[in-house]
Structure 1
Amino acid sequence: MPKNKSGRKGLVTGKRVVGLNSVSIRRTQEVREIPIEDIVVPDWMGDDDPIFSCLYRKYITGKISGFLTRVPMNFVREGFFLASRGFEYRCDQPPEDVVRQTMREIRGGGRPSLHLYSNLNASSDVRFMCPDDVAVCLAYRKLGFGAVPAVVLSPGKDSLPFSSFETRVDARYVARGANVRGIVSASVPKKIPSITGIALPEAPAEMLDRFQKELARLVGRLRLFHAPSPNEMHYHHMVFSALVRMQETLRAIQLLLEQELWYQALSLLRVLYEIHLNFCFDWMQPETNYRYLAAAAVFDNKEVSRQKEVMSNDLVSKGVARDIAVDQAGAAWKPVALASNVSEKAKLSKIGIMHHRDIYEFLSQITHQNFEVASLHANRFNDEDFLIIDDSVRKTYLRFMDLIVSEFAFCVDQDIGVAIA
């Protein structure tokens, strides 16, 4: 997310002023406290799911972890199976107006998380049950979403479909709530999205044209899907920003390749990669993770350390023991540290899981023009074709670009529904 140190209140686009920055971005609905006695359970809500209730109590008391992730909708079934009655199926029956209101909120940029757990019914092939967020689940399904934000309280023995943020409540300080402990990578994928397919086009221009057409298609889908409203969130605006930055970077790469400036274009591959990694971080949990990216954009490592110290000192002044205060401050700022670390963010992406070391270390050499790269050019001193890039480097570059752009496009595509309701 961009820094805003110029004092401007917004960016001017034509005659319209867009007052969005890392502070003004809005991603969550306003939260209000109401007396417990005023809470009314609607008639359409059915019985409690004893499995989910048990898991949730364990989660909020620090006995188990929760995993913040994305889950494909075809892995999820709303409702639950009641084990005590031979796995009888039960499900809330939210009225159509409740579901449609949720759909409107999602089209306005909301991305509420589903609370899921691993299905224990051996006779059912669905992997996760969603007993508590039925209206939200139905809204996502009616809108045609591919993968949605989720909090998984019981993942099961298999790896989750996507990487996740592990969160846990410290049982000693339950009132603090859950904190992010770290990133848990999904298993090394057997397949990865590719726009070009197995065979790379002979002409890089053809490949770049395919990328631009796909990104333009996604921009069109996003604009059609978004429904402005008085309570709209700004998630779609940030997805649009990522799409535009991808498009602009690809245009810059194309201009360089037209002039056979391959090594200069290589440095822009790192830009593409980091746009994708930041997007993946945000995409996993849009209603919370933007805060950590915003803080990481404003505070460098030194300032993060200072902020932790300020927070711990404030807690001590309120009577909290020094060691506990330091621990609480560290836990609170942990996700900001993750958002600032490229290697950590790479654990979220399929291409990062597979190729982060290969991509980032090599591209870092190119970007910083270290001695090894300088030597590579020096060895071509007497070569008449000194501007020609090695064919293996060329193919590797194009393949990495394909995998980065393709996974980015896949994630965006999974997060845009159809324009109904």
Structure 2
Amino acid sequence: MSKKISHLRRPASRLVPIDQIEVPSDFRYDPPFIKLLKQADAGSIAVAFTRIRTDLVTSGFFVREGQATVHVSNLKQHNVPLLEAIIRRGDRPPLGLYWSSLSPHPSKLVCPDDEAALAAYESLGIKYAPAMIYSPREVQREEGSIWSRMKKGIASYDRALAPEINQYAASRRVWNAPDIEGLAVLRRTCADTRGEIRTFHAGSNNGVHYHQMLHALLLRHERVLDTIGELLSAGRLEPACAVVRMAYEAFLGFYVDWLAPSFIGPRLQLVSRLSSLKGHTLTSKERANEEYKRRVLGGFETFLTSVQAKARISPLGEYFHDIAYPPLSWVAHQSYGVLERESLHFEEEAPEDNPGQIRTLLNWLNVITTALVLRARNDVGCSEGVAIEMENAREEAGESGRP
């Protein structure tokens, strides 16, 4: 009998009566933030789930006192180690942020209520922290964002905003390596990152937590790289393309999860379970339960099951998707045109692979793997010093030929 697996993304919680909550006598409230929280709960404003660079966020908030602007912080340093422990166990508490006109800093994002979490992310070296931006501005940032708005008490899908993309991250060692050898470089980088995840994780292994999911994703990606290498070595470019498509779609699923692990992760899990019911004969009670779960998803199912929608907000963007996905899909779907090219002369041998096409496939794998590894390493404090080099790889990834 198979063991039931529990997928936990949030720490255990319990209801506490308000009159039992003690507030320090020196705690200062931030009225604008309280107003935003009420507006978000009422559905009058949206909340953007994203990743934000911690050095762009000011801990605390600003108030006007007379003619002066004063910075206020409620941070208690003894709370920081507690949040560090929570993060190292696999939780990723989001930072509640908003844009403050009083902030003297260029980004103007302030964090009035999650200062200990912000300090913990900085202490652990997690450069890009998950964040909830209240009443967000429609501006492109380094990472994509997924917007939600409360509708009839349900956190519902509102829109998604693409990141600003100026270049792709890629490994120069892979660009310069002979074809198949580049795959070994990518595989070693994934394996090294899995080691960093195991080292970073400090907590119970009961259930499936975010760190175990990161580890499993990288391990599966390594297997994908192995399979592609074996297929290319055997002169099987077409099936290799289908496996690359699988790796690309897996990355897109990871990326939207990475943006908001505590919010998107459980919804991805629910979408997966609903998808597994398709084709099954359900009882009236099971159908009612399925319909209820779809309502609870608040429209996120459509977004989370659309490859194009997820591609639009990924760090590879629509440009990469429009270049790479169609030819990978033609092969995966056994397009008639693909079949037609091979059927002209009753030949039994597969056509020889084009070296330029193989190189293009490896270039695509380079940017997919690097985008995956950089974000996984960020989440265990290894964003600095990673053996991946930034390179303006847009042209190489997109225009060196199509399989």
Q: Shorter-chain-normalised TM-score: which range?
A: 0.7 to 0.9
Contact 2:59–2:115, Cα closer than 8 Å, also in 1: yes
| Residue pair 1:163, 1:183 contacting (<8 A) in 2 also | no
SS at match of 1:397: helix
Amino acid at match of 1:190: N
In 2, Cα distance between the equivalents of 1:404 and 1:262?
A: 18
Q: How much identity, in percent, do the aligned residues show?
A: 25
Residue 84 of structure 2: aligned partner: 103
Aligned equivalents of 1:162 and 1:328: distance in 2? Answer: 29
Alignment-mate amino acid for residue 415 of structure 1: D
- The one of 119, 138, 145 aligned to 1:164: 145
Q: How does 1:21-60 map to 2 (within 5 A)?
A: 24-43=6-25, 46-60=27-41
Q: What are the superposed Cα offsets for residues 285-320 of structure 1, whole Å, 9 maximum, x if unpaired?
A: 21232222222222239759999x979968xxxxxx
| 1:220 corresponding residue in structure 2 | 195
C-alpha distance 139-212 of structure 1, shift in aligned 2 (>3 A): same
Task: Tell me the residue number matched to 1:411.
Answer: 375
* CA deviation profile, 1:112-141 (whole Å, cap 9, x unmatched): 110011242463234421111011111111
Equivalent runs, 1:234-253 vs 2, <5 Å: 234-253=209-228
Residues 417, 122 of structure 1: CA spacing in aligned structure 2 closer, same or farther, 3 A cutoff?
Answer: closer
Q: Secondary structure at the match of 2:172?
A: coil
Q: CA deviation at 1:383?
A: 12
Match of 2:96, SS? strand
* Paired position in structure 2 for 1:8: 2
The aligned counterpart of 1:131 is 112
> Residue by residue, what CA displacement relative to the aligned partner does 1:157-184 show, whole Å, maximum 9, x if unpaired?
52233222211123xx3xx1x5232441
Per-residue CA deviation, residues 20-60 of structure 1 (Å, 9 max, x unaligned), is 3xxx11111122111111110135x6311222222222211
Per the alignment, residue 386 of structure 2 pairs with none
CA separation in 1, counterparts of 2:243 and 2:272? 20
Correspondent of 1:396 among 360, 363, 369: 360
Specify whether residues 28 and 304 from structure 1 end up closer, same or farther in structure 2 by C-alpha distance, changes over 3 A only: farther
Q: 1:381 to 1:160 in 2, by over 3 A?
A: same
Residues 246-255 or 188-197, more deviating = 188-197
* Alpha-carbon shift at residue 65 of structure 1 (Å): 0.5
Give the root-mean-square deviation of aligned CA atoms: 3.1
Give a deviation string over 1:262-296, Cα, whole Å, max 9, x none.
22211110111122111112212212322222222
The one-letter code matched in structure 1 to 2:244 is L
Partner of 1:321: none
> In the alignment, which residue of structure 2 is the partner of 1:146?
127
Per the alignment, residue 290 of structure 1 pairs with 265
**Residue 67 of structure 2 is aligned to residue 91 of structure 1:** no
Matched residue, 1:211: 186
- Offset at residue 202 of structure 1 (A): 5.1
Moved more, 245-254 or 53-62: 53-62
| Of 346-355 and 144-153, the range deviating more from structure 2 | 346-355
User: 5+ residue gaps in structure 2?
Assistant: 383-403
Distance 1:302 1:213 in 2: 37
8 Å Cα contact 2:94-2:132 kept in structure 1: yes
Q: Is the 8 A contact 2:155 2:298 kept in 1?
A: no
Query: Residue 165 of structure 2 contacts residue 317 of structure 2 at CA under 8 Å; is this kept in 1?
Result: no
Q: Which amino acid is 2:150 matched to?
A: V
Q: Aligned equivalents of 2:334 and 2:349: distance in 1? A: 22
Once the 2 structures are TM-superposed, how far is the Cα of residue 378 of structure 1 from its aligned partner? 3.9
One-letter amino acid matched to 1:80: F
Deviation at 1:147, TM superposition (A): 0.9
Match among 371, 376, 387 for residue 352 of structure 2: 387
Distance 1:405 1:48 in 2: 44
Q: Are the structure 2 counterparts of residues 359 and 255 from structure 1 closer, same or farther at C-alpha, using a change threshold of 3 Å?
A: same
Q: Determine if contact 2:63/2:71 at 8 Å carries over to the other structure.
A: yes
Report deviation, 1:232. 8.2
| Residue of structure 1 equivalent to 2:312 | 347
Letter in structure 2 aligned against 1:150: A
State the partner residue of 1:61. Answer: 42
Structure 1 gap ranges (5+): 1-6, 10-18, 315-325
Change (3 A) 1:30 1:224: same
In the alignment, the residues of structure 2 paired with residue 221 and residue 201 of structure 1 have an alpha-carbon distance, to the nearest angstrom, of 26
Aligned length: 379
Structure 1 281/310 Cα, relative in aligned 2: closer, same or farther at 3 Å?
farther
Contact map agreement 1:108 1:226 (CA 8 A) in 2: yes
Asked if the contact 1:76/1:127 (under 8 Å) is kept, the reply is: yes
Q: Which residue of 2 aligns with 1:319?
A: none
Distance 1:223 1:328 in 2: 34
The secondary structure found in structure 2 opposite 1:358 is: helix
Separation in structure 1 between the aligned mates of residue 360 and residue 132 of structure 2, nearest angstrom:
37
Task: Quote the residue 2:396 is aligned against.
Answer: none
Kept in 2, the 8 Å contact 1:117–1:152? The answer is yes
- The equivalent position to 1:338 in structure 2, one of 288, 300, 303, is 303
- SS, match of residue 175 in structure 2: coil
Question: How far apart in 2 are the matches of 1:331 and 1:93?
Answer: 35
Distance 1:27 1:401 in 2: 29
Aligned residue for 1:376? 341
Kept in 2: contact 1:165–1:180 (CA 8 A):
no
* CA distance 1:327–1:349, change in 2 (3 Å): same
